[in-house]
């Protein structure tokens, strides 16, 4: 008997989100066995704010898509408290809720929005958190994500990542004369997407700076691949490389001062480092094989990369100080696009066995490997900054979509789009301030 609780939930966003580039549906396929039962009561909301999604809906869905929580439906609640005096714990014990979230939202005298929320431990009959936010109306959803982060961390002990962003490439009519490619940025739930860059030529390999204020990516707008750096607010854009041959796979160092990238300007594809202050280049690998797809170790002292120097693509680690290179993967006939978890001890990557591509996880100390996904043609894994989930690109009925899976494989959901093929996802760092 299958132990995992299967959830089939379609979440349709507001009609305003159906602009080009939007991710219009989230489908939760699987959550953990025995998720935490939580009640997020609809917030009491000023009549002038009823056009906004209720804060409770956003918070509840954030917690649901983590796979670790089972929010109680509002229609099943016995009461709808919005302050401590209205909370009767017996109501929530009857419904087997372990935690309770209540709140209210109102307009302030200066036209801003005031939002209060409280978190309760139902069995212990105690208040755990009470917080107040005063923000511009445009930050309505931001506050809801922050509340979800706070609740998630208080209960699980792990920092929440609901306030982060995702970046992805939306391709419409790819390969046709009228093809359009957009680099999109959206909330982690796919809402509020916006186009950072639009082109009639392909866009690839987008990555975030450590502070989330800049991105790098590859564009073919000059007729060949070039690496571009751009501010997220759109105020600055610069082409960093446009050499003959390959210019690909740029990624920031953890301190944001350097980029690792792949260039073939001198012949074979090799990994180079660019100092962003001086724009100087330093070659890191020197081998007749293809070395590609670099990423940094969390401490910035090493590079993880893909190479076929052993005959087939596998994952290697290079120590920058000594140039010592170690092979990390041996299982399967193809392993690529690797990223280390924040603990530096676990690796996620694209893994192929018997011709099928999946996303896999490997414990580097014990050398055991776990395949996390069951779909085909899975690629481009990108980790959430708290290391609990990863987003990747896959196929669904012949269309490119994004999907999310937990590091232990127990939680899965999909983010398809009705606007075109979605590919090359990148999860932002924590966005403080």
Per-residue confidence (pLDDT) for residue 21, from 0 to 100: 54
Per-residue confidence (pLDDT) for residue 32, from 0 to 100: 74
Q: At the topology level of CATH, where does 165-427 sit?
A: Neuraminidase (2.120.10)
Per-residue confidence (pLDDT) for residue 26, from 0 to 100: 78
Tell me the sheet residues that pair with 351: 335, 358
Per-residue confidence (pLDDT) for residue 415, from 0 to 100: 86
**Tokens read off for 224:** 């060949």
Per-residue confidence (pLDDT) for residue 3, from 0 to 100: 31
Q: Nearest to residue 422, comparing CAs of 6, 12, 14, 24?
A: 24
Per-residue confidence (pLDDT) for residue 10, from 0 to 100: 37
Per-residue confidence (pLDDT) for residue 38, from 0 to 100: 98
**Tokens read off for 259:** 């980029």
Per-residue confidence (pLDDT) for residue 25, from 0 to 100: 64
The whole-number mean pLDDT for each consecutive block of 10 residues of the chain, a chain of 433 residues, reads 33 36 70 89 94 95 93 96 96 97 95 96 97 96 98 97 97 91 95 95 97 97 96 93 96 98 95 98 95 96 96 96 95 93 93 89 90 87 95 89 91 84 96 76
CA distances from 377 to 204, 313, 373, 396, 426 (A): 17, 16, 10, 10, 17
Burial, 395: exposed, middle or buried (Cβ in 10 Å; 0-12, 13-18, 19+)? middle
Does residue 151 contact residue 163 with C-beta atoms inside 8 Å? no
Helix H, strand E, coil C: the string for the chain is: CCCCCEEEEEEECCHHHHCCCCCCEEEEEECCCCCEEEEECCCEECHHHCCCCCHHHHHHHHHHHCCCEEECCHHHCCCCCCCHHHCCHHHHHHCCCCEEEEEEEEECCCCCEEEEEEEEECCCCEEEEEEEEEECHHHHHHHHHHHHHHHHHHHHCCCCCCCCEEEEEEEECCCCCCCEEEEEEEECCCCCCEEEEEECCCEEEEEECCCCCEEEEEECCCCCCEEEEEECCCCCEEEEECCCCCEEEEEECCCCCEEEEEECCCCCCEEEEEECCCCCEEECCCCCCCEEEEEECCCCCEEEEEECCCCCCEEEEEECCCCCEEECCCCCCEEEEEEECCCCCEEEEEEEECCEEEEEEEECCCCCEEECCCCCCCEEEEECCCCCEEEEEEEECCEEEEEEEECCCCCEEEECCCCCEEEEEEECCCCCC
270 CB neighbour count, 10 Å cutoff: 22
Per-residue confidence (pLDDT) for residue 169, from 0 to 100: 96
Those residues whose C-beta lies under 8 Å from the C-beta of residue 177, and which sit 6 or more positions away, are none
Cα 325 to its chain centre, rounded Å, is 29
Those residues whose C-beta lies under 8 Å from the C-beta of residue 321, and which sit 6 or more positions away, are 301
Q: What is the pLDDT of residues 136-179, one digit of tens each?
A: 999 999 999 999 999 999 999 999 999 999 999 999 988 899 99
Q: Nearest to residue 144, comparing CAs of 109, 91, 192?
A: 192
Helix H, strand E, coil C: the string for 110-167 is: CCCEEEEEEEEECCCCEEEEEEEEEECHHHHHHHHHHHHHHHHHHHHCCCCCCCCEEE
Domain boundaries, the chain: 35-156, 165-427
Q: What is the pLDDT of residues 250-307, one digit of tens each?
A: 999 999 999 999 999 999 999 999 999 999 999 999 999 999 999 999 999 999 999 9
Gap between the Cα atoms of 92 and 98, Å rounded: 8
pTM: 0.91
Q: Is the CATH code 3.30.1310.10 the one for domain 35-156?
A: no
């Amino acid at each position: 008997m299958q132990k995992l609780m299967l959830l089939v939930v379609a979440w349709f966003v507001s009609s305003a989100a159906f602009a080009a580039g939007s991710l219009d549906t989230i489908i939760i396929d699987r959550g953990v066995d025995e998720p935490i039962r939580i009640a997020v009561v609809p917030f009491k909301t000023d009549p002038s704010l009823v056009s906004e999604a209720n804060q409770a809906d956003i918070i509840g869905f954030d917690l649901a898509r983590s796979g670790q929580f089972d929010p109680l439906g509002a229609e099943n609640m016995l009461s709808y408290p919005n302050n401590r005096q209205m909370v009767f714990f017996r109501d929530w014990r009857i419904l087997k809720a372990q935690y309770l979230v209540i709140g209210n939202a109102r307009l302030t005298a200066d036209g801003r929005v005031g939002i209060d929320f409280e978190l309760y431990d139902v069995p212990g009959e105690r208040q755990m958190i009470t917080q107040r936010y005063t923000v511009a109306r445009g930050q309505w959803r931001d506050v809801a994500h922050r509340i979800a982060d706070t609740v998630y961390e208080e209960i699980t002990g792990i920092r929440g990542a609901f306030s982060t962003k995702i970046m992805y490439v939306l391709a419409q009519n790819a390969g046709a004369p009228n093809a359009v490619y957009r680099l999109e940025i959206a909330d982690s739930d796919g809402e509020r997407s916006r186009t950072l860059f639009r082109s009639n030529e392909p866009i690839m390999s987008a990555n975030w700076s450590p502070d989330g204020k800049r991105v790098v990516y590859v564009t073919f707008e000059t007729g060949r691949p070039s690496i571009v750096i751009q501010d997220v607010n759109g105020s600055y854009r610069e082409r960093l490389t446009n050499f003959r041959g390959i210019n690909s796979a740029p990624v920031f160092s953890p301190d944001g001062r350097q980029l690792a990238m792949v260039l073939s300007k001198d012949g074979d594809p090799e990994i180079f480092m660019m100092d962003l202050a001086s724009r100087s280049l330093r070659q890191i690998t020197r081998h007749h094989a293809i070395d590609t797809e670099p990423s940094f170790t969390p401490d910035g002292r090493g590079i993880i990369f893909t190479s076929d120097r052993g005959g087939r693509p596998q994952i290697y680690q290079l120590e920058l100080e000594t140039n010592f290179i170690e092979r990390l993967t041996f299982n399967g006939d193809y392993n690529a696009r690797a990223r280390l978890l924040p603990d530096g001890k676990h690796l996620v990557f694209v893994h192929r066995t018997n011709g099928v591509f999946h996303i896999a996880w490997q414990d580097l100390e014990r050398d055991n490997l776990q395949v996390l996904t069951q779909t085909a043609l899975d690629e481009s894994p990108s980790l959430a900054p708290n290391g609990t989930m990863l987003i990747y690109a896959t196929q669904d009925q012949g269309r490119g979509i994004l999907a999310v899976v937990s590091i232990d494989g127990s939680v899965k959901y999909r983010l398809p789009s009705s606007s075109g093929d979605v590919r090359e996802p990148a999860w932002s760092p924590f966005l403080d301030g």
